Structures are given as C-alpha cells and as structure tokens.
Amino acid sequence: MTAEVRWARPEDTDDLALLLRELAIHYRQEPLDKDRTIAAVGRWLEDENPAYPHFALAYRNDEVAGLASVAIAHPGSDLERLLFLKDLFVRDKFRSAGVGVSLLAFLASECLARGIGRIDLTTENWNEGALRFYDRLGAARHDQKVFLRFETDALNALARQASDPI
C-alpha cells in the first residue's frame, strides 16, 4: 500500500479541512473560508458514529494526501448494505502515486469486514481521468439510474409540504 489510510478522528480536523478546501478548488467551486471549514469539520468529526465513520484519510510520509467521503446505506432488494462513495479526492502532488488506489483498497477491506456488499459512486461525465481510473480498477458502469438532486429551494418546498395538513 502506498499510503496509510484510516478513518478520520476529531484530531484530524485541520487535515480534513485542508482537503475539503482543496477539493472545492479542484471542482471549480468558490473557495471555502478556512475558519468556517474547520468549524464545520470539527462538528462533523465530533458527531461521527464510530460504527459508521464518514471520512477516510490517506497519509503519505506523515502528510495528508487524500480523502474518501462515504455513507453507509441499509439494504435494498438484495438485503446487503452498500457504501456510497460521495467523494474520492487526492491532492495534486500525490496524484498517480497510488493514493486513490490505497483509499479504495481500504474501503473495500472495510466493506468485506463489515458485511457491506458493494460500493456505489458517481463521477462527472467530463472527468475522463476519474472514469479511466475507476474502469482500470474494475468498476462497472451502470446507466440504468439517473442522478437527481434536491437543492435549497426544492428542500424548502418539500419541507413546507410536511407541515401542510392533508
């Protein structure tokens, strides 16, 4: 394994915040405020359920190199839980050095140890490097699903429906 990978702990707040700020820039988003990011990450890591951690961190030579942000979902029709990989991000200077593979190998081992039957993920259709990476590792493309999103306005509209009398 070319990177040491482990689940994030509260003492990793600064490392995770750094990665999330770099991830935002990588995906051409507005830069995240450093103090706000550190505060949010600190809250998240304090709230983590040890049975279902949400961030795996990769380190190389004691420097944070990448992250995997995950969620564990409970059974569908096959009665197996799944791990949803929300983000896999490797810092520029650690790309093509096996860090991404190390993160996925760690997640695969965790899935097998916890009885989780699969890893699902999405990536942007324009991200050719990511698509090649996942193809090379054996990920199967499934085009039978459509990616959908409820953003703030839709969330507000849905929440109002919850309070409307039937």
pLDDT tens column, 36-80: 999 999 999 998 777 677 999 999 999 999 999 999 988 767 788
- pLDDT score, position 165: 61
Cα gap 133→95, rounded to integer Å: 11
Grade residue 24 by pLDDT with cuts at 50, 70 and 90.
Answer: very high
- pLDDT score, position 78: 79
**Structural domains of the chain in order of their starting residue, each with its CATH number:** 4-163 (3.40.630.30)
pLDDT of residue 166 exceeding 80, the answer is no
SS3 55: strand
Instruction: Record the pTM.
Output: 0.87
Q: What is the chain's percent helix, strand, coil content, to nearest 5?
A: 45, 20, 35
